[in-house]
Amino acid sequence: MGKKLQNIKAVKQLLAGEHKSQKKTQIYTGKLKVKGQPEDHEVVERDKDGKAKIWIERDAAGFGTRVTQHDGFRSREPENSILKSIQEALEVPNECPKCGTEMRNDEQRLNFKFYFTRKKCFSCVLQEERKLKQEGPEVWKAYQNKIMKSNAEGWFKDADREVEIVKNQVVKTWQNAQGEYGEADMSEFLEKVEKDYKKLKDGIRNQFK
C-alpha cells in the first residue's frame, strides 16, 4: 500500500512539473530520428524533380515536426499545426452551396459558423429547422439529438488528440525520471487514463441513443 501511495504522489508531481527529476537539466540518450537527409523521414510531398519538399521528422516519443524545404531555407511547424487547421477552416466559399446566398454579407459570422458544421448558410439552417418543428415534437427532438451527437463526436476528435498528447508527455517525463519508477507503474497509469476517458465518451454517447 505504501508503494502505491508513493506512485500516486509521484504521478501528481510529474504532471505538475514538480518532481525532483524535472528540477534539473535532463539529458535523454534515446535515439532521436531528427537527423539525416529528408529521404530518411516520412516524405509528404515532392517537388517537380522528385526531391522531398515536405516531410515529417519524429522524435523518440513519436511527436512529429512538419519540415518544408523552401528556396534556400527550411520552415518547421508541429505536424498537427493549429494555424494550418485555422487556415483550412477559413476556406469558405463566396456563396452558400445550397442556396447561393453571399456568405460574406451582414450575417457573415453566423454563415461561417454554420458552414463549418453544416456546410450551408445561416438562413438555410433556419429554414430547415422551421420545417422540422412543424413536423412535430418527436421529429424535432430526434433532430436535436442528431445535432448534439454530431457536436459531441467533433469534440471527441479534438479530445482524442489532447489525450494522446498527455499520454506522450507522461511517457517522456517518466523516461526522464532515471528509472526511479518502473514501466509497470507507467502502464498502470496510462491504462487508467484510457479507461476513464472511454467511460466519459460512452456516457456522453449513451445520452443520444
196 lies in some domain: yes
Q: How far apart are CA 166 and CA 199, in angstroms?
A: 17
Q: Residue 178 has what pLDDT?
A: 56
Q: Residue 132 has what pLDDT?
A: 92
Whether the pLDDT of residue 105 is over 70: the answer is: yes
| Boundary residue ending a domain (48, 66, 85) | 85
Which of the four pLDDT bands, split at 50, 70 and 90, describes residue 167?
Answer: confident
Q: Residue 156 has what pLDDT?
A: 87
157 and 202 housed in the same domain: yes
Q: Residue 154 has what pLDDT?
A: 82
Q: Residue 27 has what pLDDT?
A: 36
Q: How far apart are CA 205 and CA 117, in angstroms?
A: 19
Instruction: Tell me the percentage of the chain whose pLDDT exceeds 90.
Output: 14
Instruction: Tell me the percentage of the chain whose pLDDT exceeds 70.
Output: 70
| Boundary residue ending a domain (74, 101, 133) | 133
121 and 156 housed in the same domain: no
Q: What angle do CA 155, 160, 161 make, to 5 degrees?
A: 105
Number of residues that this document lists for the chain: 209
109 and 147 housed in the same domain: no
12 lies in some domain: no
129 and 151 housed in the same domain: no
> Dihedral of CA 116/119/124/125: which sign?
negative
Which of the four pLDDT bands, split at 50, 70 and 90, describes residue 4?
Answer: very low
Mean pLDDT to the nearest integer, 21-34:
40
62 and 96 housed in the same domain: no
Could you tell me the residue range of the domain that residue 113 belongs to?
A: 92-133
- Give 112-138 pLDDT, tens digit per residue: 888 888 899 999 999 999 999 999 999
Instruction: Indicate the range of 60-74, 96-110, 167-181 predicted with least confidence.
Output: 167-181
151 and 99 housed in the same domain: no
